[in-house]
Amino acid sequence: MAEDRPKDIERVRKRWNEHANRYDGWYERFEGAVEHYVEWELLKGRLPQNRDAKILDAAGGTGRITLPLAKMGYSVTLCDISTGMINVAKQKLIKERISDKVKILECDVGDLPFPDESFDFILCWDGMIEAANELIRVTKRGGKISIFLMNRCREAIDLLPEDPASALALIKSRLDYIYHDEEKHRAVTAEDARKLFEAEGIRVIDIYAVCGWLNVLPIPEKVRESRNWDEKFFRQVAEMLLRLSKEPSVKGMSRHLVLYGERI
């Protein structure tokens, strides 16, 4: 049974440092490109109207979201625990000549070096509900947050073949944590997430089901992993996933939930 262990930040940093040069490659494949499309479509409509707004991309990695935001004119702060991921982001910003729009910091999202109410919009796209209080602390009142959370039902489904006892405990809410590559995450349902964030002074705007859909749809591995694809099929799959991400009856099926909320 998966037992509770404290999070080992050094191990997390090491793992992402090792992964840094391969991370963006995943988004060049069909499955990654579709996920990026869906996540960006959901985000676009929620961004601040005012381009002077201050945005924090917490656990922002190689700048997958920071870059397009900076190109739109927002002033963005990217923070991440991994030097390797940050270095990739820096190289991309230099190449695109937008380094002046982005501040980069190496830090733990659980201990942010910013005063209370520093940002108008905060993204944290790495399933870290444990950092929620710290992320909320640095969000301005009236500001918005977008946070990825590990989806409890899908985690239980994926865990079933290797550890049925933990899978059952997870689905019955007797177990809260799951491990991915030794990284500890708390898994929640959409309803858990809504209650937890509302208790912390967040008005929940919406919760979408994102990531991991292509493993449950009957799309061949060869297509999922390809780097050249038929554009019409890409659009069809991407539109389908966008609809599924908003469909309440299948919210348990995606790998992540992304919660959009406003600090009141």
Q: Which residues bind ligand SAM (CB under 6 A)?
A: 9, 12, 16, 59-61, 64-65, 80-82, 85, 108-110, 125-126
Nearer to ligand SAM, 64 or 101 (CB): 64
Q: CB of 61: closest distance to ligand SAM in angstroms?
A: 3
CA distance 251 to 246: 8
Identify the bridge partners of residue 75 per DSSP, sorted by sequence position: 54
Nearer to ligand SAM, 78 or 171 (CB): 78
Q: CB of 40: closest distance to ligand SAM in angstroms?
A: 10
Output the CA torsion sign for 46, 247, 40, 193. positive
CA distance 51 to 56: 14
Q: CB of 15: closest distance to ligand SAM in angstroms?
A: 8
CB-neighbour burial class of residue 129 (10 A; exposed 0-12, middle 13-18, buried 19+):
buried
Nearer to ligand SAM, 98 or 171 (CB): 98
With beta carbons less than 8 A apart as the criterion, state whether 22 and 59 touch: no
Nearer to ligand SAM, 48 or 110 (CB): 110
With beta carbons less than 8 A apart as the criterion, state whether 135 and 79 touch: no
CA distance 180 to 128: 12
Q: CB of 58: closest distance to ligand SAM in angstroms?
A: 7
Bridge-based pairing of strands 183-188 and 75-80 is unpaired
Q: How far is CA 134 from CA 50, 100, 165, 192, in A?
A: 24, 26, 33, 19
With beta carbons less than 8 A apart as the criterion, state whether 63 and 93 touch: yes
Nearer to ligand SAM, 91 or 236 (CB): 91
With beta carbons less than 8 A apart as the criterion, state whether 233 and 31 touch: no
Q: CB of 93: closest distance to ligand SAM in angstroms?
A: 14
Neighbours of 26 (CB within 10 A): 14
Nearer to ligand SAM, 122 or 171 (CB): 122
Tell me the residue number closest to ligand SAM, measured at CB: 61
Nearer to ligand SAM, 119 or 171 (CB): 119
Q: CB of 248: closest distance to ligand SAM in angstroms?
A: 24
Q: CB of 98: closest distance to ligand SAM in angstroms?
A: 17
